[in-house]
Amino acid sequence: MADNRVIHVLLIVGGGFHDFDLVRLELLTLLRENPRIRTTCTNDWRDIAALEQADMVIAYTTNIFPDADGLAALRRFLDRGGRWLAIHGASAYIEFKGPQVEIGGIKLPGLTDTPDRQPDYMDLLGCRFVSHLAPQEIVVESVSDHEIVRGLEPFAVVDEPYILEIRGDCEVLLSSRYTGEAPGYVKGPWLEDLPRPQALLHRQGKGEALFLAPGHCIGPYDLRPFIDELPAHPGPWANPTYRELLRRAIRWGTGAPVLA
């Protein structure tokens, strides 16, 4: 008999400094490829009832974190076997450390700092954002035989090259290499030529969290009030290999054959 069960996905998209409308639309378009998926959309972690019902959670956020009740619900979700896809800024807590600075015409209230103020959340995710280099093209390649990345050819994207702190036992799936300054950040420069994780898998209870670092995109007005307008950039969202990676992540998260 055909499997016609409904799959519940909680999609959390919100925060600042990114084109969240573009991301929401792209993710909903990919989710719609499976007619059994029903998606609840929100911009924070407050819908605990939806989290309790979810088979998969997808988060594309910046500075949006669950409160104590939400964090406990997220832990229960993972412990019971739920799968969480966190993209780009979902690993980031940021605050500004004065005095005011101007970087490329963008007036910030201070340098961007990333203190470890959400340790329990980061421990569940398996990593924490520390800093990033100036946006540039990076080449991302598979370093694992996990089915999410198996057989993927190296691909180039224009993104914010992330520096991550790994938390706990994680399997790195994608990697890149880069060195350079970190304009506007407290932490940097990053001058050691090291492999830099771009996707990693962290197991928690019966569940797993998958973090994907590439995913930056910006609209013309998304950095107000720091700058009135700037050139829009979609980042990797139109890249066919990146979209295939997201498709595989959604299949992984919803229990479908990943290499369909």
Per-residue HEC secondary structure of the chain comes to CCCCCCEEEEEEEECCCCCHHHHHHHHHHHHCCCCCEEEEEECCCCCHHHHHHCCEEEEEECCCCCCHHHHHHHHHHHHCCCEEEEEHHHHCCCEEECCCEEECCEEECCEEECCCCCHHHHHHHCEEEEEECCCEEEEEEECCCCCCCCCCCCEEEEECCEEEEECCCEEEEEEEECCECCCCECCCCECCCCEEEEEEEEEECCEEEEEECCCCCECCCCCCCCCCCCCCECCCCCCHHHHHHHHHHHHHHHCCCCCC
Structure tokens at 241: 């290999």
Report CA torsion sign: 89, 91, 97, 101: negative
Residue 175 has pLDDT above 60, yes or no: yes
Please tell me the predicted confidence (pLDDT) of residue 59: 98
pTM of the model: 0.97
Please tell me the predicted confidence (pLDDT) of residue 1: 41
Under CATH, what is the fold of the domain 7-254? Rossmann fold (3.40.50)
pLDDT band at 76 (very low <50, low <70, confident <90, very high): very high
| Average confidence score pLDDT of the chain | 97
CA distance 129 to 166: 9
Please tell me the predicted confidence (pLDDT) of residue 2: 53
Residues whose CB is less than 8 angstroms from the CB of residue 9 and which lie 6 or more positions away in sequence, other chains included = 31, 37, 38, 39, 40, 54, 55, 56, 57, 58, 253, 254
Asked if 120 and 247 touch (Cβ cutoff 8 Å), the reply is no
Residue 3 has pLDDT above 80, yes or no: no
């407290």: which residue's tokens?
Answer: 186
CA distance 173 to 181: 25
Q: For the residues 1-15, what does the mean pLDDT come to?
A: 87
Please tell me the predicted confidence (pLDDT) of residue 98: 87
Q: For the residues 210-221, what does the mean pLDDT come to?
A: 98
Residue 4 has pLDDT above 90, yes or no: no
Q: For the residues 128-147, what does the mean pLDDT come to?
A: 98
CA distance 234 to 163: 21
Please tell me the predicted confidence (pLDDT) of residue 200: 98
pLDDT band at 194 (very low <50, low <70, confident <90, very high): very high
